[in-house]
Structure 1
C-alpha cells in the first residue's frame, strides 16, 4: 500500500510541475501581448532576421538568464502573439544553443582540468553545430528560397526547429567525439604527474563530468595507466632487492603498495559511478576492462610487497642464494618484467588483437617457476642450499607466478573487450595449445629466456 501511495505522490508531483509550467507560460504570454501592438518592438524583431544578430541575441539572452528552457519559453511567448517570423526565430534558436553553455562554463571556474575540458567540449559542440546548421540552411535558402521565411512562427514550430537542429547536430558531430577530446586536451593540458600522487591527481576524477561520460571514462583510463606504471615500479623494485637488498627500495615498495590501494578505491568508485551513464558498447566494454584491470594491479602490488618482505627476511637473517640460484633468478626476473611491460603496451593501446601473446608470456613464467623450484629441491638434496632458503624461494616464486596470473586476467579482459557478449566458455585460454600465434610466441620466448645450464 505504501509503494502505491509513493507512486501516486510522484505522479502528482509531475502533474503539479507541468501545471506550474503551463501557468507560467500562459502568464508570460499574457504579459507580452501588448508588445504585438508596438511598432518599435515588431521592427526590432525584424532585425534578428540577420543571422549574425539573431545568433548573438539568442546567445546573450540565454547566457544572462542561464537557462535555454527559459529563453525558448520567452521566444515561444512572443511567437504566440504573432510577431516573430521564421526568419527571425531560427537564428535566435541557434544562438540559444550557444548561450546555454554559459552555465557549464561558469561551473568550471576553479574546477579540475577534466571539468574545464567538459565545458569547452560543450561550447565547441554547440558553436560548430550552429555554424554548420546555419551555413547549410542559408545556402539552401539562397539556392532555393524557403517560402515560409516571412511567415509567423508558432510555439510548436519553435520546439520542432530546436529539436531537429539538435538531432542533426548530434548525428553529424557524434563520430568526431574523440577529436573533441583531443582538442580540449591541447587547450587545457594536464600538468605532469608526480611519482606517487595524492589528492591533486584524483581531482581529475570529477563527478561533474557525468554529463560527458565518454570524457570521464577517458580520464579514468589515463589514470589507470598511471596506476599500471606504479605497479610495474613496485614489482621492479621488489625483485631487484631479492639479490641486493636496499632498505630505501623496500620502503618504496611499501609506499607504492599503499598508493595503488588508494588508486583502486578511487578509480573503482568513479568508474562504477559513470558506467551507469555510458551508452556506447565500446565505452561500456572499456569500463569493464578498467574495473577488471585495477583489481589486478592492486593484487600485483600486494605480491610485490610480499616479494620485498621475503627479501627483507633474507637480509635480516643474513641468508644468500647460491651463485647458481642467483643466475636463475636473474633470468626469471627479466622474464617477469618483460611480461608486465609487454602487457602494459597492449593495455595502454587497447590492442586486444595482440592479447593472445600475453598468454605466451604467462605460460613462460609458469614453466620457469616449476623449473626453478625443481632445481632448488635438487640443490637441497645435494646439500648445496638450505631448507630455510627453500621456503623463502617458494614464497618468492609463488608471488611471481600469481603476478603473471593477474597479467593473464588482464589479457582475457582485453580479449573480451569488443565482443558483444562475454562468454566465459570461449575465453582467450580456450584451445591455447592449438593456437599458432600462441605457439610461435611461446617458442621464441623459451629461446630468449633460457635458464642457465645446471652445474
Structure 2
C-alpha cells in the first residue's frame, strides 16, 4: 500500500461520511418533524416504543439523533424517563438499515438488474440523479429527495473507493497482526467504541468495517467485539448532550449506555464461554459485508429481546447511578438539543410563542380587572407574567437565530420569519397590557375614577379588544384561515370606537364634565387598547397570508388591508357590521 492508496483511503472515508451526513439530513428534513412528533405521543407502551424507535431511526438513519431527541424531550418535561427505554432499544435496531443496504456490494451476477444494484454501479447513478434533483430544483420535497439520493450515492461511491484503497492491506503482515490483536475482546470493544465516538455514527463505522471486510482479514471473533464496541461508542453523543440537563435527561443517556454495556457483557460472556466449551464452527469464519450486516442486526435484536422484559429494572438502576430527586423538570420547550432536528425545534418554538400569547392575554385580562377592582395580588401576577414574556422573547430570539444557521427547507425558513414577527407582536401586546395596569395603579393611588358613562364605554371597548385577542390566539394556535378573517373587522370596529370615544371625552372635558387628570388617563387607555388590537391584526394577517389557498394570490398586506377597508370584500363588510352592532351600537347613542 503506497502513499496514493493512503490519500485515496482518506478521500474515500471523507466521501462516505459526507454521504452519510447528507442522506441523514435529507431524511430528517423529509420527515418534517412528524416522526419525532410520533415519539412524543405514542410511547406509553414499551413494546410500541421499540417499534417506533426502530421506525424513526431506520428512516433518519441515526440512533444518536433519536437518543438525543429523547434526552431533549425528557429535559423539556414532554416525555417521561420510562417512555424512552423502548425507543432507545428500538433505535439500536433501526440503525442497522444502512449496513443492510451496503451489503449490496456482495452481489455477484451477470444479470443486468442485479448488476445495477452493485454499489460500484448504483452509486454513480444515484449520485448523478441526486445532483440533478438537488441543484436544478428549487425548494419542495423533490429537492430534499434529491439530497437523500445524492447522499446514498456518495455513500456507495465512498464504500467502493474504500474497498479498492484497502485491497493492498491484506498482504501487509502489520495489518493482519492488527486484526489478530482485535481478537482480544477488550481491545476490540475499545477500538470499535473509539472509532464510533470519533465519527459520531455507528452506521458509518459499521460501513468502514464492511469495506475492510473485502480484504478477507475480518473474522467472526474479531468482528463481534468491534460491533459491540461500536454500539457502546454511539452512546457518547447522547451522554455529551445530557451535560447540564436535568437528572432525568442524564438518566435517559445513561439508559442508552447501560443497555449497550449490559448487552455486550452478556453476549460476550455467552459467546466466549460457549466457544470454549463447544468450539463453534463459525468462530474462525471470514466475514463479508452481508454477514457483518446480519451479525449487527442479530446482536441488536438479541440485546433488545434480552433486556426488554427488564425495562423497569433498567430505570431503577439508572436512578441509583444518577442519584437525585425525581421531581419533574422545569418545562423547557427551547432545549438546544432540538436544534439538531429543525422541524422539532420549530414546533417547540411555535409552542413557546403561543405560550407568550397566552401570557399576554392573561395580562390584558388582569389589567382590565384592575381598572374596576384594584388588587395588589393581581398586579403581582401580571408583573410575573410580563417577566416571563420578556424572558421568552429573548430566549426565542436567540434560539431562532441559532436555528437559521442550520440547513432549513423553504417552509422552515418561512416559519422562522413568521415566529419572529409573531413573538414581537405578542410581546408588544404584553407591554400595552402593562401600560393599562399602570393607568389602573395611578387611578388607585390618586383615588380617582371614571364617570359611569366613561366606565360603560371602556367596558364595551375592552370587551371588543378581548374578543379580538381571543380570536387571534385561537386562529394562530389552530392556523385557522377562516377565523383569522374575523380579526380585521373586529380591529376596524375597535378603531372606530377609539376615535368616537376620544372625541366624546374631549367634548366632556370642554363641558367641564370631566377633569384634566381623568381625561389624560382615559385618552391614554384608549390609545393602549387600540394598539393591542393593531398587533392582533398583524398576527392574524400572517395567518391569512400563510394559510391562504394556492389559488388565492393575495397582494402585499398594506394593499390587501386598503382593499378590505374600501369595501372590496362583502364578507369583511358583513363581519364589520356584525361586530359594530355587538360592541358599538350599545354605546352609540350614549353621551
- Tell me which interval the TM-score lies in, with the shorter structure as reference length: 0.5 to 0.7
1:323 aligns with 2:452: yes
Could you tell me which runs of 5 or more consecutive residues in structure 1 were left unpaired when the two chains were aligned: 1-14, 42-57, 124-151, 162-190, 194-199
Question: After the TM superposition, which of the residue ranges 290-299 and 437-446 deviates more from structure 2?
Answer: 437-446
1:19/1:339 CA distance change after superposition, 3 Å: closer
8 Å CA contact 2:193, 2:233 repeated in 1 = yes
* Residue from 233, 250, 270 that aligns with 2:399: 270
What TM-score, normalized by structure 1, do the two folds share? 0.64
The separation in 2 between residues aligned to 1:96 and 1:212, in whole angstroms, is 26
| 3-state SS in 1 of match to 2:486 | helix
Q: 2:439 aligns with which of 310, 333, 344?
A: 310
Answer yes or no: is the 8 Å Cα contact 1:238–1:307 preserved in 2.
yes
Q: What's the counterpart of residue 8 of structure 1?
A: none
Q: Is the CA contact 1:28–1:74 (under 8 Å) kept in the aligned structure 2?
A: no
1:215/1:104 CA distance change after superposition, 3 Å: farther
Change in CA separation of 1:109 and 1:250 when aligned onto 2, cut-off 3 Å:
closer
1:28–1:365 CA distance, 2 compared to 1 (3 A): farther
- More divergent stretch after superposition (64-73 vs 440-449): 64-73
**2:457–2:501 CA contact under 8 A, matched in 1:** yes
Structure 2 residue aligned with 1:79: 214
In 2: Cα distance, 1:95 partner to 1:448 partner: 71
C-alpha distance in structure 2 between counterparts of 1:102 and 1:427, whole Å: 55
Question: 1:130 corresponds to which residue?
Answer: none
Counterpart Cα distance in 2 of 1:386 and 1:96 = 82
CA distance in 2, matches of 1:393, 1:219: 40
Equivalent position of 1:254 in the other structure: 383
Instruction: Please say if residues 195 and 205 of structure 2, whose CA atoms lie closer than 8 Å, have aligned partners that are also in contact.
Output: no
Counterpart of 2:574 (choices 418, 440, 445) is: 440
Find the aligned partners of 1:425 and 1:399 in 2 and give their Cα distance: 23
CA distance in 2 between counterparts of 1:116 and 1:214 reads 21
Q: Which moved more, 1:25-34 or 1:259-268?
A: 25-34
3-state SS of paired residue (1:320): coil
Cα shift at 1:359: 0.7
Report the equivalent of 2:590.
Answer: 454
Higher relative contact order (CA 8 A, sep 6+): 2
1:381 pairs with one of 495, 510, 516: 510
Match of 2:354 in 1: 225
Structure 2 vs 1, CA of residues 97 and 61 (structure 1 numbering), >3 Å: closer, same or farther?
closer
8 Å CA contact 2:195, 2:233 repeated in 1: no
How much does 1:108 deviate? 5.0
What is the RMSD computed on CA atoms of the aligned residues?
4.8
Given the alignment of the two structures, is residue 403 of structure 1 paired with residue 532 of structure 2, yes or no?
yes
SS state at 1:416 partner: helix
Q: CA deviation at 1:403?
A: 0.9
1-side partners of 2:462 and 2:328: how far apart?
30
CA contact (8 A) 2:179 2:217 kept: yes
Stretches of structure 2 that go unaligned for 5 or more consecutive residues are 1-6, 15-161, 184-188, 257-286, 294-326
- Residues 437 and 278 of structure 1, relative CA distance in 2, 3 Å threshold: farther
* Residue aligning to 1:345: 474
Q: Secondary structure at the match of 2:586?
A: coil
Partner of 2:521: 392
- Number of residue-to-residue matches in the alignment: 356
Which position in structure 2 is the counterpart of 1:429?
561
2 CA distance for matches of 1:96 and 1:356? 59
Q: 2:212 touches 2:218 (CA, 8 Å); kept in 1?
A: no
Q: Measure how far apart 1:72 and its partner are.
A: 2.1
The answer for the alignment partner of 1:211 in structure 2 is: 340
**Contact persistence 1:33–1:81 (CA under 8 A):** no
Distance in structure 1 (CA, Å) of the matches to 2:229 and 2:484: 48
State how far apart, in whole Å, the 2-side matches of 1:417 and 1:370 are: 31
Instruction: Output the CA distance in 1 between the equivalents of 2:492 and 2:242.
Output: 51
Q: What are the superposed Cα offsets for residues 13-41 of structure 1, whole Å, 9 maximum, x if unpaired?
A: xx89947969998597645547999xxx9
The aligned counterpart of 1:367 is 496
Closer, same or farther: CA 80–437 of 1 in aligned 2, 3 Å: farther
Alpha-carbon offset, residue 446 of structure 1? 1.4
The offset of 1:266, in angstroms, is: 0.5
Listed one character per residue, the Cα deviations across residues 169-228 of structure 1 (whole Å, up to 9, x for unaligned) are xxxxxxxxxxxxxxxxxxxxxx999xxxxxx44x43222222211111111111111111
